[in-house]
């Protein structure tokens, strides 16, 4: 009986020792898993903060881009208006220019009077108005031949 009892005690002791080892290893494993979960949680929170920051930066850049895009559109519109205005002013300033090809400018003669006389010959119906109109014009004497595109 004693041997059976000692076997029972021994088997109970073995079970208790195995149980203790198992519990110790399980506790160690649980602590290790908890540490990993805690580390992963911290890393995930850090990544979340980084992603949130990046998203906020992207939103800010998009807002600035929209603002800059609006300013570019306004600047392009102003540039277009200014180009149109410059073209109008250039056309207006050229409107009063008169270029005569083949007429020599002589320092001794009154070139403007010569031009008025030529224009009165060409446009007799406006003979009275021409002296006043041509005083507003800039007259260019050009001794070169007329360009082929203007010959007719």
Structure confidence by residue, pLDDT tens digits, 63-121: 999 999 999 999 999 999 999 999 888 877 766 666 667 666 666 667 777 777 888 88
Task: Please give the structure tokens belonging to residue 73.
Answer: 């559109």
State the Cα–Cα distance between residues 70 and 64, nearest whole angstrom.
Answer: 10
Give 151 or 30, the one with higher predicted confidence: 30
H-type alpha helices, the chain: 2-95, 111-122, 130-135
- Sign of the alpha-carbon torsion through 144, 145, 150, 152: positive
Which residues face 45 on adjacent strands? none
Q: Is pLDDT above 70 for 2?
A: no
Asked whether the beta carbons of 100 and 141 are under 8 A apart, the reply is yes
Name the residue with tokens 């220019």: 97
State the Cα–Cα distance between residues 120 and 133, nearest whole angstrom.
Answer: 11
| pLDDT for 128 | 84
Q: Is pLDDT above 90 for 14?
A: no
Tens digits of per-residue pLDDT, 30-70?
999 999 999 999 999 999 999 999 999 999 999 999 999 99
Q: Is pLDDT above 60 for 123?
A: yes
Name the residue with tokens 């007799």: 124
């Amino acid at each position: 009986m004693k041997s059976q009892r000692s076997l029972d005690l021994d088997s109970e002791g073995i079970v208790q020792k195995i149980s203790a080892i198992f519990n110790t290893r399980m506790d160690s494993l649980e602590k290790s898993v908890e540490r990993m979960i805690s580390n992963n949680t911290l890393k995930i929170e850090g990544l979340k903060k980084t992603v949130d920051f990046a998203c906020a930066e992207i939103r800010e850049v998009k807002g600035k881009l929209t603002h800059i895009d609006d300013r570019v559109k306004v600047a392009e519109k102003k540039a277009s208006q200014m180009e149109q205005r410059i073209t109008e002013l250039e056309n207006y300033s050229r409107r009063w220019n008169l270029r005569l090809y083949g007429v020599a400018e002589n320092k001794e003669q009154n070139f403007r009077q010569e031009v008025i006389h030529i224009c009165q010959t060409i446009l007799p119906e406006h003979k009275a108005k021409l002296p006043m109109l041509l005083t507003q014009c800039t007259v260019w004497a050009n001794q070169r031949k007329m360009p082929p595109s203007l010959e007719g």
